[in-house]
Structure 1
Amino acid sequence: MWNFEDRFDAGQELARSLTHRAHEDAVVLGLPRGGVPVAALVARALSAPLDVLVVRKVGAPGHSELAMGAVGEDGAVVRNPGVIDAVGVSDAELAAAEQRSRDEVESRVRMLRAGRPPVPIAGRVAIIVDDGIATGATMRTACAVARSRGARQVVVAVPVASPGALSGLDGAEGGDADEVVCLCAPPGFMAVGMYYIDFRQTTDEEVTRLLAEAR
């Protein structure tokens, strides 16, 4: 089983798999919070700008880790119909849960960008980075935001992911991204944190520091 020491180690490993993008007009977009330390290493290796792309999972009532979908900047929304049906939420409950997540997205955008506009990605390659993918809902939402902002190509790059989530993202199979770079997709995937020795929570202060250093 592939184990990363921490997000710094994962970022270094992932950057090595993206060297073919070094001379392209790319922007690296980290999903806060845990994806930003990984993205910072990728951006540094590619000499590319670093920014955040804020998305938020819509958790099922009583099971916040179970994603009914996700919402993101620019009004993007992705839903997981199978999960929604399984948990049996009403339309009103789903709408309320999505609104709570939208409010959190807006709050995080204000805090992390501090009034600065997003780095322009129109006509550029958007490399969207997270520390891992479980269901794929948040990453699919991030892809939708990048498309809406005019990205010429959308690349998803992660150290680890569930095989099922990857199949839904792979553009060759009709997914949301033009290219998917993933270092390991174990068939017995359970949770992202299982593949890190140190998976302590990334703080907002760390994210803002990394963004400031990149600027």
Structure 2
Amino acid sequence: MSFRDRTHAGRELALRLVERAGSGHLIDVLVLALPPGGVPVAAEVAGALHAPLDVLVAGEISTPVRPETAIGALVADDPPLYDRRSLAMMHLSEDRLGDVVVGERNELHRREYLYRGRRPLPSVNGRTVVLVDDGLTTGLTATAALRFLRRHGPTRLVLAIPVGNARTLSSLRDECDALVCLQQPPSLHAVGEWYEDFAPVSDTQVADTLHAFHATA
């Protein structure tokens, strides 16, 4: 099974999550998307669950030598989470990436303001939080996001994605209370391989989607 686009993937994912909600596993739900790609998926999930939607902005750390390869992830003002194996392979240390981290964190905060303005991230304490993305390969960003959320006291933490690398998913199960993934191929090099239309999601699309949800809340 592949997906026509992120909206189609979100609808399929929502069906699975509605089943869980019907069995009483999802109570007082907050849906958080990892933008930009997770937002169209999460919008369908939030709509189906009649839940509020917001974003948890995360940044990827890469190097000028291999900008297409993420070696770390950032969420809010938390310390960076690194792929230690990649650091060793590239003969890098955290100290040498200091300037890169500062730049990525500034970009992260710029996007937070663009998407949310001065509105803070909704409280997750005591709630069921469903974290949604359009797919995952390395799982670095999802891991950083889940650890950030866990420290803020959700009653239940759910990771929901249309497609994810099977090996990566196995390592993420200890980071959340439940993991919902529709497709788990043993080898996944690029999430876009599973979508017929994987066009970039613009900042404007993200902001407009969030505005629509909050305007009707």
Same structural fold, with TM-score higher than 0.5 when normalized by the shorter chain: yes
Superposed counterparts of 1:56-71, under 5 Å: 56-71=59-74
Aligned to 2:131, the other structure's residue is in SS state strand
| Counterpart amino acid of residue 10 in structure 1 | A
Q: How does 1:1-215 map onto structure 2 within 5 Å?
A: 2-19=1-18, 20-21=20-21, 24-170=27-173, 175-215=174-214
1:70 counterpart SS class: strand
The Cα offsets for residues 140-183 of structure 1, whole Å up to 9 and x where unpaired, read as 1110221122211111000001112101110xxxx211111000
Q: Bigger shift: 115-124 or 57-66?
A: 57-66
C-alpha distance in 2, partners of 1:58/1:123? 31
Which structure 1 residue ranges, 4+ long, deviate > 4 Å from structure 2? none
Normalising by the residue count of structure 1, what TM-score does the alignment of the two structures yield? 0.93
Task: Give unmatched runs, 5+ long, in structure 2.
Answer: none
Distance 1:12 1:180 in 2: 17
Q: Distance in 2 between matches of 1:82 and 1:29?
A: 29
Could you tell me which amino acid in structure 2 is paired with residue 4 of structure 1?
F
Q: Compared with structure 1, are the counterparts of its residues 24 and 98 closer, same or farther at alpha carbon in structure 2 (3 Å cutoff)?
A: same
Q: State TM-score, norm by structure 2.
A: 0.92
Equivalent pair of 1:58/1:71 in contact (CA under 8 Å): yes
Distance 1:15 1:178 in 2: 18
Contact 2:167/2:186 (<8 A) preserved: no
Moved more, 187-196 or 89-98: 89-98
Residues matched between the structures, number: 210
Q: 1:202 Cα shift? A: 0.2
Runs of at least 5 residues in structure 1 that lack an aligned partner in the other structure: none
Deviation at 1:33, TM superposition (A): 0.2
Deviations 1:69-102 (A, max 9, x none): 1011142532110011111123332222222221
